[in-house]
Structure 1
Amino acid sequence: MKGKLIVFEGTDGSGKATQAKLLCRRLEQEGLAYREIDFPRYGKPSAAMVEEYLRGGLGKKAGDVNAYAASVFYAVDRYASYRQDWGDFYEGGGLVVADRYTTSNAVHQASKLPDGEREAYLNWLFDLEYGRMGLPKPDLVVYLDMPTEITERMMRRRESDTGTHADIHEQDTAYLRRCRANAGEVARLCGWTVVHCADGDAPRTVEDIHGEVWQRVREVL
């Protein structure tokens, strides 16, 4: 008996980690068992090429590494995670909450391609991970749509507060804008659940967003 897989997706700084944790807290309150996963798995051998890519070791801009090559880096990490960490739990009927998944390649890597090539890429991506690698398809993808202007402010504040350094995705505002534009189209094509996280120029509160997310999650539990 296969389980349920709920994925949070969005551009960098859109609040995926926050909303994933709020959902997990709600599941605990409801007495529901779950596993929480997130990608990439920094520090794991399977994520080594992802880290090399994001730190700029293969090119200083995201576009220096083509969509297909970068996608394989991430896919390998997901496959290892499934085999090592959560596959048995899922296959036994467990509920899994993911901060990013295959869907992140659809958001970030497809944005590197011209309009006429994106559909072929998506078909290749989903066949690679869900078909040939045997990774489970999500039961629900919650796409957190946050304007790039807001996410950029939030990321710069996070860097200042934590002393961290932005990766090559997070440094490139033009790239982040392309990702958001691409994600809107991918969300429509793939039937993702879109949650709008801002009211004009102001972000909604995390509690308000969580309330909407929980309503959508309850429909698939």
Structure 2
Amino acid sequence: MSGKLIVLEGTDGSGKATQARMLGQHLQQEGIAFREIDFPRYGNPFAEPANLYLHGALGSDPGDVNAYASSVLFAVDRFASYKEDWGAFYEQGGVVIANRYTTSNAVHQASKLPVGERREFLNWLFDLEYRRLGLPAPDLVVYLDLPTELSEQMLRRRETATGTQADIHEQDEEYLRSCRMNAREIARDLAWTVIHCDRDGSVRTVEDIHSEVWAQVRRFL
């Protein structure tokens, strides 16, 4: 008996980690057992190839590593995490909340390709991870949509608060803009649940966004 896999997706700075944490707190209050997973798993050896890519070891521009090669780096970490961490819990019927998943490769890596080549790439990506690697496909993907200008503001605010350095994706505003346009098309084509995180030119409160996330998630439990 397999469980439920709920993925929180969105471009950088859209608040995925915060919403994943709040969703976990809500599930705990409801007495629902769950696991929360987060990619890439910084500090885990299996995530190091993805970490090196994100921090410029393979090139300072996202386009320096093609969509297929980049996706493999992230897929290695996901496969290892399933075997090491959450696979057994999921297979026994558990609820898993993912902050990023295969869907992130769809959003970020497909945007590197000409529009006419993206469908072929997505077919390859989902075949690789969901069939050949045996990872579960999500039951629900909640896409947090935020205009790129506001995403940039949130990213810079996070850097200041945490003292962390932006990765090569986060440093490239044009790349983030392309990712958002690509993601909106994928969300439409794959029937992801889209939540707009802005209103009247400002970011909505995390509580307001969470209430909408929870309304969508509870239908799948």
TM-score, length-normalised on structure 1? Answer: 0.99
What is the CA-CA distance between 1:175 and the residue it aligns to?
Answer: 0.2
Partner of 1:147: 147
Task: Say whether residues 1:173 and 2:173 are aligned partners.
Answer: yes
Q: How many residues align?
A: 221
What one-letter code is carried by the residue in structure 1 that aligns with 2:209? I
Q: Which residue of 1 aligns with 2:133?
A: 133
Distance 1:157 1:17 in 2: 15
State how 1:37-48 maps to structure 2 within 5 Å: 37-48=37-48
User: 1:100-137: per-residue Cα shift (whole Å, max 9, x none)?
Assistant: 00000000000000000000000000000001000001
| Aligned-partner residue type, residue 62 of structure 1 | P
Give how far 1:36 is off.
Answer: 0.4
What's the counterpart of residue 3 of structure 1? 3
Matching residue of 1:54: 54
Alignment partners' CA distance in 2, 1:57 and 1:22: 34
**Which residue number corresponds to residue 183 of structure 2?**
183
**Deviation of the 1:161 alpha carbon:** 1.4
TM-aligned CA deviation for residue 77 of structure 1: 0.3
Q: How far, CA to CA, are the matches of 1:66 and 1:201 in structure 2? A: 34
| Structure 2 residues not aligned, in runs of 5+ | none
Instruction: Name the counterpart of 2:24.
Output: 24
One-letter code aligned to 1:77:
D
Q: What does residue 219 of structure 2 align with? A: 219
- Residues 59-100 of structure 1 deviation map (CA, whole Å, 9 limit, x = unaligned): 000011000000000001000000000000000000000000
Moved over 2 A (4+): none
Amino acid at match of 2:130: Y
Amino acid in the other structure paired with 1:70: S
Write the letter of the residue equivalent to 2:14: S
Identity over aligned pairs, percent = 69
The 3-state SS of whatever aligns with 2:195 is strand
Question: Which structure 1 segments of 5+ residues have no match?
Answer: none
Equivalents in 2 of 1:85, 1:16: separation in Å? 21
Give the C-alpha shift of residue 160 in structure 1: 1.1
TM-score by length of structure 2 reads: 0.99
- Separation of aligned partners in 2, 1:71 and 1:89: 25
Distance 2:143 2:108 in 1: 13
CA RMSD of aligned residues (A): 0.5
Using the TM superposition, give the Cα deviation of residue 200 of structure 1 relative to its aligned residue in structure 2, in angstroms.
Answer: 3.0
- Give per-residue Cα distances to partners, 1:138-166, cap 9 Å, x unaligned: 00000000111001011111111111100
2:35 counterpart residue number: 35
The amino acid of 1:54's aligned partner reads: L
SS at match of 1:170: coil
- Letter aligned with residue 137 of structure 1: A
- Partners of 2:67 and 2:190 in 1: CA distance: 19
